[in-house]
Amino acid sequence: MTRRVHQLLAALSYGDAIGNEALAIQAHLRRAGFESDIFSEGVHPRVAHLARPLWQYAEVSSPDTVCVFHFSIGSAAGRLIYRAPDRLVSIYHNITPAGWFLGFHPHLAGLCYHGRRELEAFAPRTELALGDSEFNRRELEAAGYRRTGVLPIVLDLTAYERPPSPVVRRLYGDGRTNILFVGRIIPNKRIDDLVRMFAFYQRYVDHHSRLLLVGDYRGHERYLRRLREMVDEFRLDEVVFTGHVDDDELLACYSVADAFLCLSEHEGYCVPLLEAMVMGVPVVAFDAGAVRETLRGGGVLLTEKPPELVAELLHRVVSDATLRRSVLATQEHAVARLRAEDFGALLLDRLAPVLGTS
């Protein structure tokens, strides 16, 4: 039975779901008595003390070491572990199909295309492959991985009990109806559909409203420019692109939101849906990818999304107290199931075939 289980990432980022999961995995492994460090190619300064540089992985690499590799496109971490002697567990968080970025980000389109080819190349090298949703697990199976499973992303629910930013609360808690989306400003998230919906919503349903788009757009300025052009074309007021925000600012955005709307068409997992439910914000989301799976029976699922239909439904969720309570009740049930999960036990169960504990 091995006692060394280390993790390898392309980047350990501040406030990132994958980085937070890696830290949670490390904590559970250490509590179970395993030697466990995180090695990363790139590290955000705020979390630099939590990871070791990638080049130090040679110090722990061996045929008796289990490496949990968070698969990512075109990384030095991937090239390193592919040739290393370690027993390999790959965790797959999904690679967006390249077609979504054509016309907006050709370089990223190329990376995603080659990333999906790399995914297939890793199949014979990987002893165990885990997707963070059944949707992702099926992609692993289709790519030729022999042994697969599901390891959902873990949320530190205590993080959502921290004080929100009073400045952001004061800025957006001004009586307007706040429609919130959280996620990177990239084409597959269909922010353009959110803008089209909001054009109908603000013009015909609720003039005193705001669309709050919270997420990083660095590297996707071409898509952002097109979105801003749409806002100008529709002559919309109060469409806010916040860019990347700190944790307390994110909590403040959830705290002032009247509803969370997601019209994304490709999601391997969608942490902001869970965050919205934990924060007591009613969720309306388009049923694509792993969205249904992430919601766990909570919120309102859309099977179509013409702007006028979505706007009218959203207004009912915001303004009809009975419907709102009903939606929130489904979300509370989903969150209760989330709280009841023992992630540490689930992690060890999933890794048991490799750790030799089964």
pLDDT digits (tens, 9 = 90+) for 235-281: 999 999 999 999 999 999 999 999 999 999 999 999 999 999 999 99
Angstrom distance (rounded) from CA 151 to CA 147? 13
Q: What angle do CA 234, 240, 243 make, to 5 degrees?
A: 130
CB of 10 closer than 8 Å to CB of 41: yes
Please determine, for residue 358, whether its predicted confidence score (pLDDT) is greater than 60. Answer: no
CB of 329 closer than 8 Å to CB of 297: no
At 296, list the tokens. Answer: 């766990």
Strand partners, 301: 285
In the chain, the amino acid numbered 229 is E
Please tell me which residue, 195 or 76, carries the higher pLDDT value. 195
Confidence of residue 106 (pLDDT cuts 50, 70, 90): confident
**Distance from the Cα of residue 93 to its chain's centroid:** 8
Q: What is the pLDDT of residue 255?
A: 97
CB of 304 closer than 8 Å to CB of 325: no
| Three-state DSSP class for residue 108 | helix
Q: What is the pLDDT of residue 14?
A: 73
Q: What is the pLDDT of residue 227?
A: 97
Please determine, for residue 66, whether its predicted confidence score (pLDDT) is greater than 70. Answer: yes
pLDDT digits (tens, 9 = 90+) for 25-47: 999 999 999 999 999 988 788 88
**Torsion over CA: 177, 282, 23, 116 (sign):** negative
Confidence of residue 20 (pLDDT cuts 50, 70, 90): confident
**Torsion over CA: 180, 186, 189, 193 (sign):** positive
In 3D space, the residue among 77, 104, 105 whose CA is nearest the CA of residue 91 turns out to be 77
Q: What Rg do the C-alpha atoms of the chain give, in angstroms? A: 21
CB of 60 closer than 8 Å to CB of 327: no
Q: What is the pLDDT of residue 80?
A: 92
At 292, list the tokens. Answer: 């249904």
- Cα distances (Å, whole numbers) of residue 304 to 7, 285, 309: 40, 10, 9
Q: What is the pLDDT of residue 357?
A: 61
Give the predicted TM-score (pTM) of the model. Answer: 0.92
Enumerate domains of the chain plus CATH numbers: 5-152+341-355 (3.40.50.2000), 159-339 (3.40.50.2000)
Please tell me which residue, 2 or 270, carries the higher pLDDT value. 270
**Torsion over CA: 203, 100, 95, 304 (sign):** positive
pLDDT over 90, % of the chain: 77
In 3D space, the residue among 329, 335, 333 whose CA is nearest the CA of residue 282 turns out to be 329
Mean pLDDT of 172-184: 96
Q: What is the pLDDT of residue 307?
A: 97
pLDDT digits (tens, 9 = 90+) for 137-156: 999 999 999 999 999 988 88
CB of 285 closer than 8 Å to CB of 295: yes
Please determine, for residue 2, whether its predicted confidence score (pLDDT) is greater than 80. Answer: no
| Three-state DSSP class for residue 300 | strand
Q: Cβ contacts of residue 292 below 8 Å, gap of 6+?
A: 301
